[in-house]
Amino acid sequence: MNGMRTLLAGASTLALLAGPALAGEFVEWQDDGGAIIKLSPEYDSAEIRLSAEDLGGLFGPDELPFEGDEITVLTLDSGPKGGISGPLYAFRPVFEELSGASVDIALVPISELYTKIFLDLRNGTGEYDGMIVGAFMYGDLIDGNYILPIDDWRESGDFPAWSYDVMPDSLRNIYTWDGVGYGVLNDADGQVLYYRRDLLTDPEHQAAFKAEYGYDIPVPPDTLQHLRDIAAYFDGKNFDDNDAEPDSGVVLHLKVREQGLYHFMTLATSFAVTPGELSETQGVYWFNPTDMTPLINSPGHVKALEYLKDLAQFGPDAQVSWSLGEAWDYFLRGKAVFNFSYGDVAPLAQDETRSNIRGKIGSTILPASDTYWDMNQEEFITTDEPRKVGNVTGGSWHGTVSVLSDAPEATYAFWSLMATKPISKWLATYGWNGVDPGYDYQFLEPVGEAKLEDYLAAGWDETDVKEYLAAYYENFNAETMLPYLRITGTQEYYDILDSNLSAAMSGAKTPQDALDDTAAAWQQVTDRLGREKQLEAYQKAIGWQG
Amino acid sequence: MRWTSSIRNLFLMPAVVWVLVFTIFPLGYSLYAAFHTVTSETVVNRMEVPRLDKEGNPVLRSDGTPRMKTEVVRETVTNWEFVGLGNFARLFTDKVLHEAIKVTAIFVGVGLAVQMTLGLALALLFNRNMPGRSLLRTIMILPIFATPVAAGYLFFTIFYEEGGPLGWTGIPWLSSPHWALVSVIIVDIWQWTPFCFLVFLAALQGIPDELMEAAKLDTNSSWSTFRNIVLPLMMPTIVIVLLLRFAEAMKVFDIVASLTVGGPGNATQSLSYLAFRTGLRFFDVGYASAIAYTLLALVMVVVTILFKRIRTIYA
């Protein structure tokens, strides 16, 4: 990205003008107590300036506050340049030079991350000082007292500075537990709808669509029902210039045990949640908050799964066995009109070595269904003004400190270095690294503090980035949010749902049977884990007042 | 030198220890677990102690106070709650388990039938003079040396439906529940047919030439010779191979884990994979042990029947 290089060159010049006081390989201390940190050539030799306040009181030119400490951090394996794990590799040498500590990065595939973390914690092995966790693991992490609260460190002024105040409530809630901080700011996950702006605004397609469906293509799509029509219209047409094969209306990542369930979770909210103040029948999605009876097989959920199945017919058949990377690749090659997924897709689309859709990718908060199940009236209601529902679906992968760590301060310091505003902002603007935007300073003015130039300099297309950041801002700040499940055994509840959804999407079960089986199995899990205990945790998680 | 009984016992000791530690203990432990709900918790005590420099002196902050570090003392407590036959009772109502038994049965039944038949046919083919026989035989047995996980990943790329080498067939190798199971079976057949072939070929070559020549005097029918001479003589080998392959196939794990992760849905989830996930993903160790014992019981029943068959053949 030439723009990025220009930005870096500018930053380097500024750094030289400021006058280096002490230059190390990765850290160049400044006279004002701040430092310019320099990443390796693998990360385009990027340079980021941190002020003395950003660095915290422990760090300084003559200080090695964690000299001799050896920490091991566990993360999901995407490799040294991949998503989530990449930034750890990028900032490890910087941290080692700043702190005197050494950092060992342990990698496991995402499908094994939960097992690795909890085997270590349950057996008391203490192999890992810190873990990158998904927020859905908090029920189990907190239940076992496996991770340390971090507020005292964060507020001490000793460590690299960052704040929960930059987070929207939706994200803050999943980084904390009962008002206490446990997670260090990093990734912000949620699913939005990506669409091919160039195709939806194409006059020929617009005219043909109107002739076939009787209304203009809404750009962006305003309801899930319209989205389905548009996907149906484009499916089978060869709209990319790269091959002679017909293309698809949509592409989904549906592989079982590889985050396939998240599509359904996100999409079902507008079908299944009855609007209104939280009550036994309103604002609830997972369980009845008075007795933990599963709601997952409610008529709204079933209709959502029927919709998803219907929509999936406009995608490639193979998507049932596709994980994120395969579906993203298909979309980036320009072979599908829609993909609803995480914040990784738009940054990936800017990389023209792997994307054909730079400058063509639109983003919007996921449209809502115009029909939802009303639990009060026990009937489907069709509305002219569907509620757009936000979500923090996914892991929002971030660092935590193990209660078994012998070097918790050093571990926290490593995570917090990457949470500082300059680094967190750099991670959001600079290419794809799995760390997706969600914080004030990453959104564009006037809702945020970021400037368009920051993103343009990093190589973003102007319209792409404007829509992308606006979509995520709206998503994370939506009035109605998909409730995030964070109770003990969430992994098992999810796994049961995931298997049954996959069975439905592959045709082995009907949507009704799949969700009935899910509900029955969830009842067994709840009974085994203790219904009263689970009920109490669920009520706390959703803010139930009784 | 006289071999006293104590010297003999000393030499036997490593084998006894091996069996006790690696066979008896895990069996006993998992059986015990199968009758319990197992939970563990880690009790952690953390102490703040002064951080010392290389010379052993306390490291001080800028305000002169000592910098502290944390020392952790931890103890893991495992709780065993006796549940009697509760875990085994769950086996009867667990739909996922029933699905896994069905998947495993199809995998073993179809896989072994094809492997044995194909292995025998190839052994008969290669048990005659033909050009390049040694080279072909060497190539034939190469799949045995691949680790199952590697084979799983290899076939993941081969079965990849969007542009993979078999994509042109239009077969939903991994996205259809039925075809996904076929795919897993194909990988197992690819890997283990050479084993059957190799052992059958050795057995064929062990049949005395005089016997075959005598048979030729009695009949011109190859089928008759095979059915009345070759097959009965090979039967002990066939049963042994069947037994070995059965015990191995019932435990299929690696191919499933690397090729399909048990999906779509639970369409390719084997009993071993389910037991693994129950124990190490959901930490339901007692129930996972009960599943593992069910698997063991199934294998034992069939193995016992096959052993009886071997005894009959030898008798």
Whether residue A446 has a cis bond before it, omega within 30° of 0 = yes
Q: Using the 8-state DSSP alphabet, how is residue A294 labeled?
A: B
- Give the C-alpha separation, A162 to A422, whole Å: 10
pTM, 2 dp: 0.90
Which residues in chain B are closer than 8 Å to A505, comparing Cβ atoms? Answer: 264
- Give the C-alpha separation, B32 to B102, whole Å: 27
What residues does A382 pair with on adjacent strands? A371
What residues does A106 pair with on adjacent strands? A74
| Optimal mutation site among A125, A488, A506, interface B, most CBs of chain B within 10 A | A506
Percentage, residues of chain B above pLDDT 70: 99
Helix extents (H) in A157-292: 169-175, 197-200, 203-213, 224-234, 261-272
| A151 has a pLDDT exceeding 80 | yes
Q: Do A517 and B95 lie within an 8 Å CB cutoff? A: yes
Q: What is the mean pLDDT of residues B131-139?
A: 86
Which residues in chain A are closer than 8 Å to B168, comparing Cβ atoms? Answer: none
pLDDT band (50, 70, 90) for residue A3: very low
Nearest partner of A343 among A359, A324, A360, judged by Cα = A324
CA B111 vs. chain centroid, Å, equals 14
Please give the pLDDT value at position A22. 61
Q: Do A317 and B161 lie within an 8 Å CB cutoff? A: yes
- Give the C-alpha separation, B49 to B71, whole Å: 7
Q: Do B281 and A492 lie within an 8 Å CB cutoff? A: yes
B269 and B165 in one domain?
Answer: yes
Q: Do B174 and A326 lie within an 8 Å CB cutoff? A: no
Residue A133: CB atoms within 10 Å: 26
Nearest partner of A418 among A147, A135, A87, A51, judged by Cα = A87
Q: What is the mean pLDDT of residues A236-264?
A: 91
Q: What is the mean pLDDT of residues A97-120?
A: 93
Q: In Å, how far is B51's CA from the nearest CA of chain A? A: 9
| B38 has a pLDDT exceeding 90 | no
Coil, helix or strand at residue A181: strand
B270 and B134 in one domain?
Answer: yes
Q: Do B282 and A492 lie within an 8 Å CB cutoff? A: yes
| B270 has a pLDDT exceeding 90 | yes
Q: In Å, how far is B8's CA from the nearest CA of chain A? A: 40
- Pairing status of strand A248-250 against strand A336-341: parallel
B261 and B131 in one domain?
Answer: yes
Q: In Å, how far is A4's CA from the nearest CA of chain B? A: 34
pLDDT band (50, 70, 90) for residue B1: low
Q: What is the mean pLDDT of residues A379-392?
A: 93
Q: By the 8 A CB rule, do A443 and A473 touch?
A: yes
| A17 has a pLDDT exceeding 50 | no
CB nearest to B175's CB, from A317, A503, A521: A317
Residue of higher predicted confidence among A70 and A259: A70
Residue of higher predicted confidence among B199 and B56: B199
Q: What is the mean pLDDT of residues B147-159?
A: 93
Structure tokens belonging to residue B10: 């000393």
Residue whose pair of structure tokens reads 């571990």 in the numeric block: A411
CA B299 vs. chain centroid, Å, equals 12
Q: Do A499 and B280 lie within an 8 Å CB cutoff? A: no
Minimal Cα distance from B59: which residue of A? A65
Please give the pLDDT value at position A4. 45
| Optimal mutation site among A321, A513, A533, interface B, most CBs of chain B within 10 A | A321
Residue whose pair of structure tokens reads 């590889």 in the numeric block: A258
Q: By the 8 A CB rule, do A357 and A351 touch?
A: no
- Give the C-alpha separation, B153 to B157, whole Å: 7
- Give the C-alpha separation, A25 to A526, whole Å: 54
Q: In Å, how far is A407's CA from the nearest CA of chain B? A: 7
pLDDT tens for each residue of A109-123 = 888 899 999 999 988
B97 and B40 in one domain?
Answer: no
pLDDT tens for each residue of B169-186 = 999 999 999 999 999 999
Integer angstrom CA distances of residue B283 from A114, A245, A491, A513:
11, 46, 11, 27
Q: Which residue, of B53, B68, B84, is where some domain finishes?
A: B84
Residues 6+ apart with CB under 8 A from A301: A268, A271, A272, A295, A373, A515
pLDDT tens for each residue of B248-265 = 999 999 999 999 999 899
- Give the C-alpha separation, A132 to B109, whole Å: 43
- Give the C-alpha separation, A533 to A526, whole Å: 9
Q: What is the mean pLDDT of residues B105-119?
A: 97
Kindly list the structural domains of chain A, giving each domain's residue range(s) and its CATH number in brackets, ordered by start.
56-183+398-433 (3.40.190.10), 192-392+482-542 (3.40.190.10)
Q: Do B74 and A404 lie within an 8 Å CB cutoff? A: yes
- Three-state SS annotation for B140-208: HHHHHHCCHHHHHHHHHHHCCCCCCCCHHHCCCCCCCHHHHHHHHHHHHHHHHHHHHHHHHHHHHHCCC
CB nearest to B175's CB, from A118, A257, A318: A318
- Give the C-alpha separation, B174 to B195, whole Å: 26
Q: Do A321 and B263 lie within an 8 Å CB cutoff? A: yes
- Give the C-alpha separation, A513 to A515, whole Å: 6
Q: What is the mean pLDDT of residues A253-257?
A: 93
Nearest partner of A498 among A484, A481, A515, A523, judged by Cα = A515
Please give the pLDDT value at position B3. 66
Please give the pLDDT value at position A76. 92
Integer angstrom CA distances of residue A205 from A211, A220, A224, A240, A520:
10, 14, 19, 14, 46
B156 and B48 in one domain?
Answer: no
pLDDT band (50, 70, 90) for residue A241: confident
Packed helices B231-249 and B95-126: angle between N→C axes, nearest 10 degrees: 140
| B4 has a pLDDT exceeding 80 | no
Which residues in chain A are closer than 8 Å to B69, comparing Cβ atoms? Answer: 69, 407, 409
Structure tokens belonging to residue A243: 């091959």
The backbone torsions φ and ψ at residue A472, rounded to the nearest 5 degrees and listed phi first, read -70, -35
Query: What CATH number did the domain enclosing B183 receive?
Result: 1.10.3720.10
pLDDT band (50, 70, 90) for residue B59: confident
Q: What is the mean pLDDT of residues A507-523?
A: 97
- Give the C-alpha separation, B235 to B227, whole Å: 11
Helices (H) and strands (E) in chain B, counts: 13, 2
Q: What is the mean pLDDT of residues B148-174?
A: 92
Could you give the strand order of the β-sheet that contains A361-364, starting from the edge strand earlier in sequence?
A248-250, A336-341, A192-196, A361-364
Integer angstrom CA distances of residue A31 from A20, A36, A52, B236:
7, 11, 10, 85
Q: What is the mean pLDDT of residues A207-233?
A: 97
Q: Which residue, of B59, B84, B109, is where some domain finishes?
A: B84
pLDDT band (50, 70, 90) for residue A371: very high
| A21 has a pLDDT exceeding 70 | no
Please give the pLDDT value at position A258. 85
Q: Do A495 and B282 lie within an 8 Å CB cutoff? A: yes
- Give the C-alpha separation, B137 to A384, whole Å: 71
Please give the pLDDT value at position A202. 96
**Domain of residue B94, residue span:** 87-314
Q: What is the mean pLDDT of residues A305-334?
A: 95
Q: Please spell the DSSP secondary structure of A75-105, one letter per residue.
A: EE---TTSTTHHHHHHHHHHHHHHHS-EEEE
Which residues in chain B are closer than 8 Å to A497, comparing Cβ atoms? Answer: none
- Give the C-alpha separation, A170 to A191, whole Å: 13
Percent of chain A that is helix, strand, coil (3-state, to 5): 45, 15, 40
Please give the pLDDT value at position A534. 95
B12 and B110 in one domain?
Answer: no
Q: Which residue, of B25, B49, B84, is where some domain finishes?
A: B84
Q: What angle do CA A157, A159, A162 make, to 5 degrees?
A: 80
Percentage, residues of chain A above pLDDT 70: 96
B233 and B191 in one domain?
Answer: yes
Q: Do B71 and A406 lie within an 8 Å CB cutoff? A: yes
CA A419 vs. chain centroid, Å, equals 16
In sequence order, what E strands does chain B have?
36-50, 68-82
B205 and B294 in one domain?
Answer: yes
B70 and B149 in one domain?
Answer: no
B148 and B274 in one domain?
Answer: yes
| A19 has a pLDDT exceeding 50 | no
Nearest partner of A320 among B178, B93, B256, judged by Cα = B178
Which residues in chain B are closer than 8 Å to A409, comparing Cβ atoms? Answer: 69-70
- Give the C-alpha separation, B149 to B241, whole Å: 23
pLDDT tens for each residue of A429-460 = 988 888 999 999 999 999 999 999 999 999 99
Residues 6+ apart with CB under 8 A from A83: A344, A432, A433, A434, A435
Q: What angle do CA A322, A327, A329 make, to 5 degrees?
A: 125
B162 and B295 in one domain?
Answer: yes
B31 and B110 in one domain?
Answer: no
Total domains present in chain B: 2
Residues 6+ apart with CB under 8 A from A375: A274, A281, A282, A284, A298, A300
